[in-house]
Chains A and B, each alone.
Chain A
Amino acid sequence: DAGVIQSPRHEVTEMGQEVTLRCKPISGHDYLFWYRQTMMRGLELLIYFNNNVPIDDSGMPEDRFSAKMPNASFSTLKIQPSEPRDSAVYFCASSTGTGRLGYYGYTFGSGTRLTVV
């Protein structure tokens, strides 16, 4: 398995531009999570999906952020318009969810380092 695949690895954009981050989860994983990581705030959960349906988007900072999962193998996180404070590493992760013994944790993608200038 190729693992969780994210693209692009690096993105530099100007303030006000639209940014789209992409994620392909591990095949068979029915949960997909978007996290943002900064030095100040650590890893913050933005939104997660179960079977392509958004379950909890309470971490999405504001209306400039949106996420979609049109099918089981693809998700996008869009920022429009982007601002310098959106600069961070954005991680996608997937999992099989809760098993009989509890929760088995996630597998993370390599992340997208976003810089908004």
Chain B
Amino acid sequence: QKEVEQNSGPLSVPEGAIASLNCTYSDRGSQSFFWYRQYSGKSPELIMFIYSNGDKEDGRFTAQLNKASQYVSLLIRDSQPSDSATYLCAVNPRRNRDDKIIFGKGTRLHILP
């Protein structure tokens, strides 16, 4: 089983709708969870991080974490064409106090004008 799994997409969402991106992880002891956005030809940029079960909101973005189900999601409200990008889910497994982050392969999101 891969450590971090995401649907590769593309996920097509009409402008103004809610985009929902999902991610599962294999290490039950994982502590920290991240969403990065990567535009084509650019480097990943951190948009959200979450540590506790439940929801965390930042503007149009909401990260959701369910540790019992080993599931992380990202909701983007009022989707804009500028949100079209690849979204990478990432997890810090924290095995042996390890500080590395493991990335999923990403979900391509396309916002339809």
A residues adjacent to B (C-beta < 8 A): 31, 33, 35, 41-43, 45, 48, 50, 55-56, 91, 95, 97-98, 101-111
Contacts and interface: CB of A to CB of B under 8 A. Distances in A.
Interface centre among A42, A50, A91, A101 (most CB of B within 10 A): A42
Decide if the interface of chain A is mainly helix, strand, loop or mixed. Answer: strand
Contacts of A55: 99
Interface size class of B (residues with CB under 8 A): 20 to 34
Interface stretch (B21-29, B40-48, B67-75): B40-48
B61 interface: no
Contact of B44 (A41, A43, A98, A104): A43
B104 A42 contact: yes
18 contacts: A35-B103, A41-B105, A43-B44, A43-B105, A45-B100, A45-B102, A48-B99, A48-B100, A91-B43, A97-B99, A103-B31, A103-B32, A103-B49, A105-B34, A105-B46, A106-B46, A108-B44, A111-B43
B62 interface: no
B105 A33 contact: no
A34 B43 CA distance: 13
